[in-house]
Structures are given as structure tokens and as C-alpha cells.
Structure 1
Amino acid sequence: MKLYGYFRSGTSYRTRIAMNLKGLEYDYLAVNLAQDEQLAETFKTLNPQGLVPVLQADDVLLYQSPAILEWLEEVYPVPPLLPSDAAGRMQVRALSAMIGCDIHPINNRRILQYLRHELSVDEAQVITWCNRWISEGFAALEKRLAADHTRGKFCYGDTPTFADCYLIPQVSSARRFEVDLTPYPTIVAIDAHCRTLKAFIDAEPMQQPDAPQAI
């Protein structure tokens, strides 16, 4: 398998975590977003949206990280990253969507580049923008996670799920954008635990081969 991604891309990061948790081997092919390589026609033949990640598995070409994670779960069901019951799967998907639909897209690179270059927003205002939406999303997520008294050290249950694959990259992004994480002790505790596990450590942005060269 070949995974096209960028070291600091949150969607690439969550996909790496999921693949590592599944114990899958893959070739990592860097697409430098800082140099707009995702907009090159050669890459757009893989994904016309010009977005990472893209996963190539034999004759199957996969795009959009939520769909990639679902495909991984169906094709490589062990170890599972979704609970066995319908209610549990709904909970994990809902937690994932809180991050993947309502926090991450507002703060991803192309939005921030539009703010900087098209609307002439300065860097301090960009940080303020990111802080606002990450903090608002984390406040709701913290309440959900803290209210689940059956939860172990992860977002749901006692093993990693999709929700953890989504959460850890978003916490990294929050730290990058100087978000005060003090109000979110449950999120911080889950993040700290996950970062002790090899699958998460190996997926970290600075562990990727393109990290030293890209900005």
C-alpha cells in the first residue's frame, strides 16, 4: 500500500494512526503542502480535490480520511477500531465527527491560507481564529468524554477507536495554535495515554520522513 500524505496534515496523521493500530505496512509518499505539490496535475490525477491523504491499495484508490478509516475497518477488521454494538459504533462515529466535521475543517491549511492571503488577516488574528473554534469544539467534546463513566483511558471503552485517531492530531494542532488546554483535563489525559503507545508515537508528525524538509 502507498499512503500519500503530509507530515503535519491532521487527516494524514489520523490515517497513519489507524494504519499503525491495524499493524499495516505501507510506503509513505510525501506531498509537500507548503510547496503546493497537492495542486500539481500529477497529484490531481489521484485526487482531483488536491487533498491528502490518498491511499493506494492494489487497484483501489481511496481518498477522504473518514472513508479510508471505514475501509480499513471493513477490510482489516482486527484489531477493531469500532465497538461491536450499534450504539457504541454510533458514539465513536459521533465523537469522531465532532472533530472531523466541526473543528478540523475550519482550521485546516487551505482555510488559513485564504484568511492570510485573500482576506489579509495577520498571524495574530489567524491564531485567534483557530483558538476560537478549537476551544469551542473541545469544550463540547470534553463534556461528552467526561460524562462517560464507563470509559477507560481512551475516548471510548478500553481500546483505541476512530475517536482517538481523530483526537490526537487535533490536540497537536491545538498546541501548535497556542490553545490553553487547561479547561479540558479529560482530553489531555487521553492524549497523554495515547502518546505512550507505539502506533501513536510512530504516526507523530515529526517522526515522518518529510518533517525535516517541509515547513
Structure 2
Amino acid sequence: MKLYGYFRSSAAYRLRIALNLKGLDYDNIPVSLLAGDQRAENYLKLNPQGLVPALTDGDLTIGQSMAILEYLEETRPDVPLLPADAAGRARVRQMANIIACDIHPLNNLRVLKYLGGNLGVSDETRDDWYRHWIRLGFEAIETMLQDGGTGTYCHGDTPTFAEVFLIPQLYNARRFKTQLDDFPIIRRIEKLCNEQEPFIQALPENQPDATS
């Protein structure tokens, strides 16, 4: 398998975590979003949307991190990242989608560049925008984590899609100096994950294309 991504892309970060947790070998192929590699003709043939990540598995190429994760879950089920029961899977997907659908689309690089470049928003206002949507989503997740489904991790005692999405979003939250004191359960799970090798290996600074 080949994973096309950018070291700071939280969507690509998700896939690195998942592949590592599942113990799968893959080639990490850098696509520089700052240099515009995602708009190059050869990359658009792989992923017509011109975004990262993209995963190739033999002759198959898939874009969109959630679609890739579901594919890996179905084709490489030996280390599951979803609970065995329908209710548990729904709970985990709900937490993952709070990030995938409600936080990340408002905070990704394309949106931030449009805010600053096209709309003339100041860096301070742009960063306030970023932090607002993170905190709103984290408030919902923290509330969910107070119920009985939470164990050592967001759901039970092994990592799931919830951590795969949560840890990259926390990394970005800290980059943008988001205040996280109100989220003690989220921070506890973050600390636990960041002590585990699959998460450490997936860190942006540990990627071959990492820059300062």
C-alpha cells in the first residue's frame, strides 16, 4: 500500500495512526500542499479532488480519510478499530464525525487560506475562528465521554476511530494555542495515546517531509 499525504495534514495523520495500529506496512509518499503538489496532473489522476490523503492498494485508489478507514476496517479486520456491537460502532462513529464533519472542514488549510487571502481576515481573527470550532466540537465529545461507554480510551479499552480522529485534531488545537483545560477526559486520553508507539510514529514531526 501507498499513502499519499502531507506531514501536517490531520486527515493523513489519521491514516498513519490507523495503519500503524493495524500493523500494516505502507509507503509514505509526500504530497506538499504548500508547493501545490496536490494539483499536479499525475496526482489528480490518483485523486481527482486534489486533496490528501489518498491510499493505493494494488490497483485501487481511495480518497477521503473516512472512506479509507472503513475500507481498511473491512479488508484488514485482524486489529479492529470499531467495536463489535452496533451501538458501540455508532457511538465511535459519532465522535469521529464530530471532528471529520463539523470541526475539520471549517479549519482545513483551504479554508484558512481563503479567510486570510480572499476575505482579508487578520491572522488573529482567523486563529479565533479556528479555536472556536475546535472548542465547540470538543465540548460535545467531552460530554459524550462522561457516559458509561468510556473506558481507558474513548470507547472501551482499545483505540478506535475516535482516537484516530481525536489525536490529530488535538495536535492542531495545540498548534493554534487552543485552551483545553475544560476537557480533562480528552486530555487524559491524549496523554495515553501519545505514549503509544503507533501514535508516536504517526506524529507530523516524525514524517520524512517534516519541516519546521
The TM-score bracket by the shorter chain reads: over 0.9
- TM-score normalised to structure 1 length: 0.96
Stretches of structure 1 lacking an aligned partner (at least 5 in a row): none
CA separation in 2, counterparts of 1:25 and 1:156? 26
1:169 maps to 168
> C-alpha distance in 2, partners of 1:141/1:7?
25
Partner of 2:193: 194
Aligned-residue identity in percent:
52
What residue identity is the alignment partner of 1:139? Answer: E
- Detail structure 1 runs of 4+ shifted over 6 Å in the superposition: none
- In 1, the alpha carbon distance for the partners of 2:125 and 2:52 equals 26
Deviations along 1:56-113, one digit per CA (max 9) or x if unpaired, are 1111111110000000000100111001111111111111101111111100000001
Counterpart in 2 of 1:119?
Answer: 119
Letter in structure 1 aligned against 2:4? Y
1:51 aligned partner:
51
Aligned to 2:105: 105
In the comparison of the two structures, how many residue pairs are matched? 212
Aligned-partner Cα distance in 2 for 1:21–1:78: 11
Aligned equivalents of 1:111, 1:48: Cα separation in 2: 19
Gap regions ≥5 residues in structure 2: none
Instruction: Write the distance in 1 (CA, Å) between the matches of 2:79 and 2:149.
Output: 21
Q: TM-score, normalised by structure 2?
A: 0.98
Deviation (angstroms), 1:151: 1.8
Residue 180 (1) aligns with residue 179 (2)? yes
Distance 2:36 2:113 in 1: 11
What is the correspondence of 1:2-13 to structure 2 with a 5 Å cutoff? 2-13=2-13
